Structure 1
Amino acid sequence: MSGPDLPRRRGIPLRAVVPNAVTVLALCVGLTGVRFAIGGEWEKAVGAVVLAAVLDGIDGRIARLLKGTSRFGAELDSLSDVTAFGVAPTLIMYLWALQHLPGRFGWVIALAQAIACALRLARFNAQIDAVDQPHKRLGYMTGIPAPAGAGLALTPLYLHFWLAPAFLDDPATRASVVAVTTLIVAFLMVSNLPTFGFGALRLRAAWRLPALAAVGLFAGALFTDPWPMLTLVSAVYAVLLPFAVRSYARVKAREGATRTTARDDGIQPPP
């Protein structure tokens, strides 16, 4: 039978299923963290959320690599993020610390993480087809992403695992620190602050090999002693937030100057 006469093969190509499977795996790993938290296995609970963040970071790249991106995958990714980085950290932090706050304030504060995560992802989905997205156009993100928010919210647990029993061993102190951290992270997630995305970061060619070596050393240190390294990652990310705001202001001002010059010269600026 000649080529044009061959019947078309029906069904979904495997390349579209693989990234969705990774997304579902991230959801399941995140929820498994809740199971560990219920059993009091705190280090495993936090490790599950961290692993879910790693899986969430690669599913989109796998989809683009295999040319398997789809609207279904984007919606599934948002639902997975709400579960793994909204619901799971909320329950872990409540069971570990916030339940020790007086009254029912601990649960109310814990809910801020889940609510902020859901609102952030709802905003992202609502703007996914929007033409005018200044932050995204310049390579920045709006607010801190859900995995980063979960990582920052769990920082008190990293510190406790690292410095125990000298740090956050008292339930009342632990609850207060976690409450403040949770509220700050929830605000940053729903804020309009520009934050660094991969498109906004640039690396000089001369720094490529040192950067790769640093990544390898970091990976080794992370597997050897994860809690100090995760604390360091959270600290570096938090410190970079004001630099991201300043960097975005500079890039936007430079773009505005370029548009003004182009308009004065009679050249139509790019959209």
Structure 2
Amino acid sequence: MNEPLSGNFDKASARGLRARRFRGVPLRLLIPNLVTLLALCLGLTAIRFAFEDQIEWAVIAIAVAAVLDGLDGRIARALKGTSRFGAELDSLADFVDFGVAPAIVLYVFGLHEMKSLGWFAALIFAIACALRLARFNVMIEDHDQPAWRGYFFVGMPAPAGAVTGLLPIFLHLSLFNVPNVHAAAPFEIAYVLGIAFLMASRIPHFSGKSIGRVPREYVAVVLFGLAAAVLLLANFPMEMLVALSLVYLASIPFSIRRFRQMQRANAESASP
């Protein structure tokens, strides 16, 4: 007597399972992932440009990928389209865009002059980026962190590491026209290893995510500054990338100082 009921129940369960399996995905979840995939395509294209000896286009592709990486998370939060899938995809794309692609571009540009030692520096750079991303993924699941730590990254962020790591190339391609010669390769290796150390270390860096709303009285000034920056970047891309890299590197001591100040203030407020 119970067999027909059981059969009907199984069919209903199967239909419900198929309905859940083929349920539509909201567009707001797809848009941030499409931006991430576009950044991934740019990172892979940078590798192609490096093999074709188009170094300038390679570094531009990585720089644009860094901009898109900063946008996809903000777009996801604005559209309420954050997801675990998107976070994993973003992390994998970041490793290619800011670990593998810059390492290959740097090796093709000048590190190859030092043969195996140059390849070693490129490998260390990519490994440091992977370790930085893995640590970031673990830390975002730690909900016990105090709120003030949100103003800082632990270690240099992967996009910043990729852009600042390409500084020797910016200098060569800019109006400064720093020559790419064999004698400079050891200094380039030391610089790349230094950036790798900053990514893998626990040195605090200012977080751009902490930037909030712009006060109304400063909106015009900010818009003017952004427009000027975009125009300068369009007309003098390498020179602007040199300036941005140097400014970012110069901000590290200030971020360390500010982090220690906030750490002491938090400890004093927590003590009885």
TM-score range, shorter-chain basis?
0.7 to 0.9
CA contact (8 A) 2:148 2:262 kept: no
Look up the match of 2:193: 183
Q: Which moved more, 1:132-141 or 1:233-242?
A: 132-141
TM-score by structure 2 length?
A: 0.86
Look up the match of 2:156: 144
1:11 Cα deviation (Å)? 1.9
Output the amino acid matched with 1:185.
I
1:12 Cα deviation (Å)? 1.1
CA contact (8 A) 2:29 2:76 kept: yes
**Distance in 2 separating the partners of 1:56 and 1:95:** 24
**Distance in 2 separating the partners of 1:143 and 1:134:** 17
CA contact (8 A) 1:135 1:141 kept: no
Look up the match of 1:213: 224
1:208 Cα deviation (Å)? 4.5
Matches within 5 A, 1:1-271: 10-101=23-114, 103-134=115-146, 137-163=149-175, 166-173=177-184, 175-200=185-210, 205=215, 207-260=218-271, 264=272
Coordinate RMSD, CA, aligned: 2.1
CA contact (8 A) 2:32 2:81 kept: yes
**Distance in 2 separating the partners of 1:41 and 1:86:** 19
Output the amino acid matched with 1:234.
S
Deviation track 1:40-72 (CA, whole Å, cap 9, x = no partner) reads 111101111011111111001111111110011
Unaligned runs of 5+ in 1: 1-6, 265-271
Counting matched residue pairs gives: 252
| 3-state DSSP of counterpart to 2:82 | coil
1:134 Cα deviation (Å)? 4.9
TM-score by structure 1 length?
A: 0.86
| 3-state DSSP of counterpart to 2:174 | helix
Q: Which moved more, 1:83-92 or 1:131-140?
A: 131-140
Larger Rg: 2
The alignment-based identity, stated in percent, is 44
CA contact (8 A) 2:132 2:199 kept: yes
Deviation track 1:20-51 (CA, whole Å, cap 9, x = no partner) reads 11101101111100101101111101111011
Output the amino acid matched with 1:167.
V
1:132 Cα deviation (Å)? 3.1
1:201 Cα deviation (Å)? 5.0
- Which one has a larger percent helix, Structure 1 or Structure 2? 2
1:210 Cα deviation (Å)? 2.5
Look up the match of 2:12: none
1:97–1:33 Cα change, 3 Å: same
Output the amino acid matched with 1:180.
A
1:181 Cα deviation (Å)? 1.5
1:99 Cα deviation (Å)? 0.6
Output the amino acid matched with 1:193.
I
